[in-house]
Amino acid sequence: MRDEDIHRVVTILREDCRKWKEPAVTEVARVRRDPFSVLVSCLLSLRTKDRETRKAAERLLSVAGTPKDLAALPVEEIERLIYPVGFYRTKARNLKAIARELVERYDSRVPDSLEGLLSLKGVGRKTANLVITIGYDKDGICVDTHVHRIMNRLGYVETKTPEETEFALRRKLPRQYWKEINDLLVTHGQNICRPISPLCSRCRLSPYCARKGVTRSR
């Protein structure tokens, strides 16, 4: 893929993604419109299908919509509310610990910087960048497995880890696309560019794609 093709690729992704359901964390952000909800739903989403993330986030946030409320909940109650998300027991402990940190260190306000977010237990770069981009509408590049996989398949970057991909995109991707690239590629990855046997015959990005690492497709 040529560097200049990224503009056409993003245009196609925008058009196609209108046909599909938006990612769960984006939906939560659109409905609730606060960084705390984005942080909670993103932590719930790790290794969990979007359908379960939506339900668990709704249950938990309807009971504990602020750091103070969440910090006051017993871990067992958090577990009950978020089950059956992946690793729900670990996530329940982390959520309570993060809520307590927010109350004690940040006056119940979610940090709006990478440094501040990464200081919270259980918060990695993907979650931190997502809070910054869709929680605070600030520039950042959230890279999850979909973004990492697709950007390498296209041949736009050549990296080995999501973190390497983030820094490569910070150097290369036009800044105007930073905030939306995660939503676009997550949606595209869930519906077309799947990890195993992607639907290349239906993909409008095919003319621009190097298909790196693709050994079998449909």
Mean pLDDT for all residues in the chain = 96
DSSP state of 47: T
Residue 80: φ, ψ to 5°: -60, -40
pLDDT in tens, 1-27: 899 999 999 999 999 999 999 999 999
**Percent of the chain clearing pLDDT 90 (strictly above):** 94
State residue 33's pLDDT score: 81
Task: List the one residue out of 21, 41, 8, 5 whose CA is nearest residue 134.
Answer: 41
Domain range 3-20+141-208, CATH architecture: Orthogonal Bundle (1.10)
State residue 57's pLDDT score: 96
Peptide bond into 23 cis (omega under 30): no
Cα gap 49→77, rounded to integer Å: 21
Residue 30's Cβ-side half-sphere holds a number of Cα atoms within 13 Å equal to 9
- CATH 1.10.340.30 domain locations along the chain: 34-135
pLDDT in tens, 35-77: 999 999 999 998 899 999 999 999 999 999 999 999 999 999 9
Cα gap 103→167, rounded to integer Å: 31
CATH code of domain 34-135: 1.10.340.30
Mean pLDDT computed over 192-202: 96
DSSP state of 146: H
State residue 32's pLDDT score: 84
Cα gap 158→198, rounded to integer Å: 19
Q: Looking at the predicted structure, is the pLDDT value of residue 122 above 90?
A: no
pLDDT in tens, 86-106: 999 999 999 999 999 999 999
- CATH 1.10.1670.10 domain locations along the chain: 3-20+141-208
Cα gap 141→182, rounded to integer Å: 7
Please give the model's pTM, rounded to 2 decimal places.
0.92
Please tell me whether residue 84 adopts helix, strand or coil conformation: coil
- At 29, is the pLDDT very low, low, confident or very high (cuts 50, 70, 90)? confident
